[in-house]
Structure 1
């Protein structure tokens, strides 16, 4: 599981490290020739959909394929997506197909491989399970650290498709290891947890085909109207993604569902935390777009006297995560219940806001020439402090506040906060058409800082709604 996830993350972060710069590069050097704003919007929607499809991906595994086959097919589809990206065609058709395949494959693989790791251990082996997940998460961040360095170097000199090919090879290696190691799983994930009946399968097939036809027809009519553009499409997808949590929380709170007063209060508190998380990811996940463009255009890419690629700067984040996870784990144990979940979320918002204050200063200095890469090192360091305060506690507080009738579904809702943040973050590129880069960074910083201060101020009220102190086990990044 460690090896499979490491190579899958290698392929994901390798692609992410060069995707935006490839899209914005001139067709004369093999790019798509999009504006940086459009590239940012597309990458934002792409990241948002990756997290959104985790919900149906988990359902397919639980009701149709079983987790083991879902991971296998997911990895295969991801590999095919990267192969499509690696085709050196002038048209963007292969790029679009590749991204769609990677989104679909990740929806099958990502949620189910984590579920399988948890099932490798007996129910009462909590300590061993926690240790197993620690090893698993190390694989995530190891793949995330290595990929931008390798793929970025291969793609240097406008060899974009060679970089995409490396991501395909990485996923292929993960699949080989997964198949060869099947015997060690001892049947884990072989069967769906709640297999569909024949009648339910037919109904699912009809509904799926109807949905595909409706979406295809809507896109065809939109294209025929002459108003379908990449920017308009990204905006439409963002609106749909925003509607999902609004509709879901409305469904829970406005219906009866036999919720107790305590469960309703907990859900009201959770909405605050959900919004805070979405704001955090809105800024944090601008790393593969805004920060990558800054590294490419305004940064002297010399680190300890060694010339690095712009893509390599994407390795700073997972490196700091691997270094500081033990530090923060020990810190949370030491602080215990004295620091609650709302306070940790507020701290995370202040950190990500501070990181963009630093970016505003760096971008102002960049007006008179390229700045040192150490500015980006500092930005990523501060952001990781925020992530390690928010990310580990997210699933825990979601599980704690979820009504009994929605326990399983609510764990998927936590990832929709990331989806919302990524989608909205992609749209913030439109602001750069009307303001300078320093002003852009300061506007986003102000949103996060104000939200962090408000969350600190409302912590007593949220603790009342949650009805107890938070006890959150130390954890690691969700990436």
Structure 2
């Protein structure tokens, strides 16, 4: 696999694999930790989803500034190392059970990802700009993307075992160790990087950095404060007068306005030869926001689905193996625990003791009566966060098949263009949501638990869409970006991811508002179909731009 690719690829692959090991281990347990009453912060579904959405949004917003700093001042190597160390420290601190420390840790992860994420992706693209590897760029990004998902697959097993054996803190510490290993691997590959890690420097016509602070960062902070303070129209559905759902969401949306304006200005101020490529990238960035809004439900709404609505009981040899490896927990069955359930309730902690059940449904509340165990018996349940390994598991299985499929089409000169791949990725992702609509129907709208195979099928289909879209997005940014702002435009790709992530948090926070859960998934399907129609409408003009640049 490696022979026909740059020698740096294995090091970048492994660095990204370990970085994603840490990130997805943390994400897999994040909302579960926030909602845990006894060892977490006893948050409601809405509170946890809102904080989750804001966090992952900011994680992917900072690559905008991190990419720009790397392009002009630090270079890629220094930026990647600084970012990796900050993230590792942030993960280590996240398990300290103190709300202030949680926010400090989240800040370190947010800033660290800004330095790490866009620059390792840009560095990879630099190696494929050479004529020797140019035609292999899409394939290189697919392989790199598989590295992401190897890390994302294995991490949840470590997270489950450490959380069950030792507690949340040790699971978060494992995420930090993974990140530090990623930094070490990256440094070991230095001899293969050559001059590809060097900064581009400030180019003629570039906006000075002090102007970026004055015209973008400072306005973003001001707009964010305005969004936090500004109130919308009060109603029964919106008693707190939020504009977009919560204070943090309002602040984030407003803070994005100056950044979006900045990216739009790149188009208007660009040289004639750069105008159409930048315009094409901005159009793609706009459309894929809706993909990320639905895809990132994996850490919130779909995690909730796995926790509340999926049959997680294991028996026989599977039970023995999972119990032995600490991938499962034994849960007592007490008849009174399922006597009453009201979605308006949540667990409350008073004087260090759990007083009452509120909006924290016990596992047995929606188990069919004939399937309930005997009073006082124990049942083994696989850890909820293991469901987060289904998607990356599919990526590992399907990536070689997708790469082989496109290689075959390329050999017959029938390979679709990168924009066409993205359009089909959106369509396939939309179809995956229909699986969850069917799962809701099979489970009688959550009154009975359903098989985990519904989640497996949903993730399997959306993974195909993801492989058509996400690595292709990284590839097309590398192909179309003007050389002096490649990392900045990679930051634009992550800005669209950021906005999509925040919208994902908004969607997830509405979960409890839908009495019929099928309607929640129909909304997601509609969003993806809208994005699909837009993208197919853009394909012709995007292909024309790529042809003008002499690329596929």
Aligned partner of 1:259 among 263, 272, 275:
272
Aligned partner of 1:438 among 518, 522, 534:
518
Cα separation, partners in 2 of 1:256 and 1:55, compared to 1, 3 Å = closer
1:153 matched to 2:161: yes
Cα separation, partners in 2 of 1:344 and 1:61, compared to 1, 3 Å = closer
| In 2: Cα distance, 1:205 partner to 1:79 partner | 28
- In structure 1, the residue matched to 2:387 is 313
1:140 matched to 2:148: yes
1:70, 1:109 within 8 Å by CA — same for their partners in 2? yes
1:15 matched to 2:23: no
1:342, 1:462 within 8 Å by CA — same for their partners in 2? no
1:346-367 deviations in Å (ceiling 9; x for gaps): 3222222222221122234332
| In 1: Cα distance, 2:271 partner to 2:208 partner | 29
Aligned partner of 2:95 among 61, 80, 86:
86
Aligned partner of 1:344 among 421, 436, 447:
421
1:54-73 deviations in Å (ceiling 9; x for gaps): 12112223333332222222
1:278-297 deviations in Å (ceiling 9; x for gaps): 11111011101111111111
Q: CA deviation at 1:98?
A: 0.7
2:146, 2:399 within 8 Å by CA — same for their partners in 1? no
- In structure 2, the residue matched to 1:241 is 256
- In structure 2, the residue matched to 1:423 is 502
- In structure 1, the residue matched to 2:116 is 109
2:66, 2:491 within 8 Å by CA — same for their partners in 1? no
Backbone CA RMSD of aligned residues: 4.1
- In structure 1, the residue matched to 2:36 is 25
| In 2: Cα distance, 1:339 partner to 1:135 partner | 19
Q: CA deviation at 1:161?
A: 1.7
- In structure 2, the residue matched to 1:353 is 430
Alignment of structure 1 residues 2-401 onto 2, 5 Å = 2-26=13-37, 29-87=38-96, 89=97, 91-117=98-124, 123-126=130-133, 136-156=144-164, 159-179=167-187, 181=188, 184-185=191-192, 192-194=199-201, 211=218, 218=225, 231-241=246-256, 244-245=259-260, 247-248=261-262, 250-252=264-266, 255=268, 257-259=270-272, 263-264=275-276, 270-301=281-312, 305-306=318-319, 308-335=382-409, 336-337=413-414, 339-366=416-443, 367-398=446-477
| In 2: Cα distance, 1:310 partner to 1:300 partner | 11
2:291, 2:531 within 8 Å by CA — same for their partners in 1? no
Aligned partner of 2:491 among 406, 412, 420:
412
Cα separation, partners in 2 of 1:305 and 1:235, compared to 1, 3 Å = farther
Q: CA deviation at 1:18?
A: 0.4
TM-score (norm 1): 0.80
Q: Highest CA radius of gyration, 1 or 2?
A: 2
Q: CA deviation at 1:332?
A: 2.5
Number of positions where the alignment pairs a residue of Structure 1 with one of Structure 2: 457
Q: CA deviation at 1:406?
A: 6.1
| In 2: Cα distance, 1:206 partner to 1:276 partner | 28
| In 2: Cα distance, 1:120 partner to 1:267 partner | 21
1:64-105 deviations in Å (ceiling 9; x for gaps): 333222222222211111121121x2x311111111101111
Q: CA deviation at 1:315?
A: 1.0
Cα separation, partners in 2 of 1:111 and 1:381, compared to 1, 3 Å = same
2:223, 2:255 within 8 Å by CA — same for their partners in 1? no
TM-score (norm 2): 0.71
2:84, 2:183 within 8 Å by CA — same for their partners in 1? yes
| In 2: Cα distance, 1:150 partner to 1:143 partner | 11
Cα separation, partners in 2 of 1:54 and 1:463, compared to 1, 3 Å = closer
Q: CA deviation at 1:143?
A: 1.0
| In 2: Cα distance, 1:331 partner to 1:167 partner | 34
| In 1: Cα distance, 2:278 partner to 2:87 partner | 35
1:15, 1:167 within 8 Å by CA — same for their partners in 2? yes
2:219, 2:258 within 8 Å by CA — same for their partners in 1? no
| In 2: Cα distance, 1:314 partner to 1:434 partner | 24
1:319-348 deviations in Å (ceiling 9; x for gaps): 211211122223234445564445433322
What runs of 5+ residues in structure 1 fail to find an aligned partner?
A: 474-479
What runs of 5+ residues in structure 2 fail to find an aligned partner?
A: 1-10, 231-239, 323-381
| In 1: Cα distance, 2:426 partner to 2:212 partner | 43
2:420, 2:539 within 8 Å by CA — same for their partners in 1? no
1:232-288 deviations in Å (ceiling 9; x for gaps): 12331134336633x2454245x364436x944x66655543333111111011101
- As a proportion of its length, which structure holds more helix? 1
Q: CA deviation at 1:21?
A: 1.3
2:68, 2:488 within 8 Å by CA — same for their partners in 1? no
